[in-house]
Chain A
Amino acid sequence: MRDDFPKPPVRAELKKRVLETPDGQKIEIDPLQDYYCQSAPTVMPAAYSKIVEGLFNWARAESLWILGFGTGCGAIEMRPLMTPRFDAYRFGIQWRPTPRQSNLFVISGYLSVKTLKRVIRSYEQMQNPKYVVGLGSCTINGGMYFDSYNTITRLDQYLPVDVYIAGCMPRPEALLAGFEELKRIIRAGKAEGANKYAENFEWYKANQKRVIHDWDMPDYNW
């Protein structure tokens, strides 16, 4: 496959430039270097004792806070889930507006390359430990968009996925079952997605950069 296509130009606001401050100083800024943390993610070790780690995992499983980011049509299943009919709040699941406050990312349906970029930024801004649920067949093998020019076919190439929920669309009951499965995995101490991401950071970045051509952000958006 050809990889020698011309790269799109860097956006103007991301270029290195000299600015004049209000008091007349000239300063040189390089947005990608100066505005973001440069270090790669690190592996979070488990707690010193197995009992304590078990307690932590129980607590994590009982407070799944979902990032309110609907990437595709599956986001429509979230509304019945959070309203009284299915009421996911009784399982300790709630929706949060910012990545910093949430630990579960539900990739709801198909993911275009353009959205993938935002998803990566949001995922990297979430605090450890964090989990990813792939919702719908689009995240598993592309679903009905298997031959599309702008939707990815396999989510686990770009982010570590803990649970897949199959269906097109999965009903809210299926989501609840998926969340229960995720809780089981967390309590068993097997939901190590964030650590897997840190360990295989180079591999994930290479995959992400292969599809996102105008990479106008730092490598790790913490």
Chain B
Amino acid sequence: MRDLYDRLKRSFPLGELTEQKPDLAFVTVPREQLRPLLQHLRDQEGFTHLVLLTAVDWLEDATFQLTYLMNNRLACRDLGVRVMLPRDGASMDSIHDLWPTAATYQRELREMFGIDFPGSPRVDEDFILEGWIRTPPYRRDFDTLKFSDEVFAPRPGRESSDPAQFMKKQLYPDGT
């Protein structure tokens, strides 16, 4: 992975390389460099398969992290390309013309995180949820328990305990 990183580093302003495993690494790029980098990886470096496109909500930093995970089938290795986006009015360039499958991921991100991908096919249509009208549910400032209690009329008398606390009490009754 280090050789690939050094090669890429010559033409793209990359962040630090995070090596998770010998065949899996992550690298951060600025937003405007993402498209050229993905294109280069696909056409020159053999990363022909977009495994997934997903997001992480860093609420404390007011940032969304997009991860484009790419796979090189011949070399048997994966490279994750990360892009940091501001959380307010999050919007990203669509890559559906590089991989048609990206359109589906982008529709999902639009619905679940509220990240817009202008120009992506059918991005504004409902994907999984039907008629969702509140904050996108995967955003961390959306409180699912509060929402569920308000909307779904919970049955009185139910007790829920935090699994970690429950197991602690079970395993260490004297509190040590």
Q: What residues on B are CB-neighbors of A113 within 8 Å?
A: 129-130
- Does A26 have its Cβ within 8 Å of any Cβ on chain B? no
Q: Which of A15-23, A124-132, A208-216 contacts B (4 or more CB under 8 A)?
A: A208-216
Contact A153 B129 (CB under 8 A): no
A107 to chain B, nearest CB (A): 15
Contact A214 B131 (CB under 8 A): yes
* Residues A213 and B132 in contact in the complex (CB < 8 Å), given A141-B154, A150-B137, A157-B153: yes
* B interface residues, Cβ below 8 angstroms from A: 126, 128-134, 137, 142, 144-145, 147-148, 150-155, 158, 160
CB-nearest residue of chain A to B152? A153
A36 to chain B, nearest CB (A): 19
Contact B130 A6 (CB under 8 A): no
Contact A214 B130 (CB under 8 A): yes
A168 to chain B, nearest CB (A): 14
Contact A211 B152 (CB under 8 A): yes
9 closest A-B pairs (Cβ-Cβ)? A214-B131, A213-B131, A147-B145, A5-B133, A141-B155, A153-B152, A8-B131, A149-B137, A149-B144
Select one of B131, B132, B137, B155 contacting A153, CB under 8 A. B155
Contact A212 B144 (CB under 8 A): no
- Does A114 have its Cβ within 8 Å of any Cβ on chain B? yes
CB under 8 Å from chain B, chain A span 6-56: 6-8
Contact B129 A150 (CB under 8 A): yes
Number of interface residues of A (CB under 8 A): 27
B95 to chain A, nearest CB (A): 28
Cα of A113 to Cα of B158 in the assembled complex, Å:
21
Cα of A141 to Cα of B155 in the assembled complex, Å:
6
Q: What residues on B are CB-neighbors of A147 within 8 Å?
A: 144-145, 148, 160
Cα of A68 to Cα of B142 in the assembled complex, Å:
35
Contact B152 A6 (CB under 8 A): no
CB-nearest residue of chain B to A152? B152
CB-nearest residue of chain A to B129? A150
Select one of A5, A7, A141, A149 contacting B147, CB under 8 A. A149
* Residues A153 and B133 in contact in the complex (CB < 8 Å), given A141-B155, A141-B158, A142-B154: no
CB-nearest residue of chain A to B135? A149
Contact A114 B153 (CB under 8 A): no
Contact A154 B153 (CB under 8 A): yes
CB under 8 Å from chain B, chain A span 163-222: 207, 210-214
CB-nearest residue of chain A to B132? A213
Contact B134 A146 (CB under 8 A): no
Q: What residues on A are CB-neighbors of B128 within 8 Å?
A: 114
Contact A149 B155 (CB under 8 A): no
- Does A148 have its Cβ within 8 Å of any Cβ on chain B? yes
A110 to chain B, nearest CB (A): 12
